[in-house]
Amino acid sequence: MKLQRKNRRALALGALAVSGALALTACGSDDTSGGNGGDASAAAQAGNIKCDDARGQLQASGSSAQKNAIDAWVKQFTAACKDVQVNYNPTGSGAGITAFTQGQTAFAGSDSALKPEEVEASKKICTDGQGIDLPMVGGPIAVGFNVPGVDQLTLDAATMAQIFDNKITNWNDEAIKKLNPDAKLPDLKIQAFHRSDESGTTDNFTKYLKAAAPKDWTYEPGKSWEAEGGQSAQGSSGVAQQVKQTAGAISYFELSYAKDGIKTVDLKTEATEPVAATVENATAAIGAAKVVGTGKDLALELDYTPNAEGAYPIVLVTYEIVCDKGNKAETLPATKAFLNYMASEDGQGLLADAGYAPMPDEIITKVRDTIASLS
């Protein structure tokens, strides 16, 4: 496990092969070191981006989990398509969907697929059409912790559920000791943080707890936090910052936010060895997802209780939500051009280096076909 944690970059690159041999040349394109290799890669990628008639401002909002991926995409896309300005506001999945259904944005990012009532609301702004889900970004939801003197921590779903439900309140609790016999667990209060905003990350995290530990997690999964106790913070960056600065803290956030020394929990599953939060291990789980959306909707069904070796169970897929028909004429060219780049081999190739999992080939191919048909 220590090797996995120290070599996230190598594992991330390996994930590309698992998910369909996506282009590796783009992974170095976000290099800011000033070396010729990074410049050459960025130039090559810019040459592959099709701007078509894209121009003007493109407003979007939603999932904070995908913000780091969006930032990398915007950097490359706007360098090639200089007539377009992309403004993505990481307000959280719930707020993003609301802004989209109110006609304030061209598309939304959400870590959960649209609910029936949200599809119905989208019909008011999608002329003769409706909002659809396009899976674009995958990755593990890491559980970050800050326990002085502890560098490696293993938890199972039942123990995690009790921690986040305020039933286990100290780091030297017997349940945690049993899972970590070699760790020097301190007599320290647990500070569990959850999202204060409506979040698809919360939705996926609570779906995992409900599926893997139904006796210990009695709440219904959802974008809003239902359990009592704990503390809250805004967005993935907010809870990650709390973990970084608070002794005894634990929280959940997309892997790309587990940086600057934040350690992540290994999860005990039905597999023989605990599973680390890595892009490679998330890809193993996402690869088993099934498309359950109808028509042009590509909503996925994820398995939160995999038993395969190396399959990390807490994963999310971020969808870009857009009208299948009836998109605004002034933003449609820019919307299609940007989404096309995100779904391209170059665009997907940026993800692993940023801590995300590219979409499997069979899924991203359907996404590209759907984007081409948007009107």
pLDDT tens digit sequence for 284-316 = 888 888 899 999 999 999 989 888 899 999 999
Q: What is the pLDDT of residue 40?
A: 44
Which of 366, 350, 363, 362 shows the shortest CA–CA distance to 13? 350
Helix (H) or strand (E) holding 1: none
pLDDT digits (tens, 9 = 90+) for 169-179: 999 999 999 99
pLDDT of 10 above 80: no
Supply the pLDDT for residue 8. 42
Q: What is the pLDDT of residues 117-149, one digit of tens each?
A: 999 999 999 999 999 999 999 989 999 999 999
Measured CA to CA, the distance from residue 291 to residue 294 in angstroms comes to: 8
Q: What is the pTM of this model?
A: 0.77
Contacts of residue 271, defined as CB under 8 A and 6 or more positions apart, other chains included, come to 307, 308, 309, 310, 311
Inform me whether the pLDDT recorded for 268 exceeds 80: yes
| Mean pLDDT confidence for 29-50 | 51
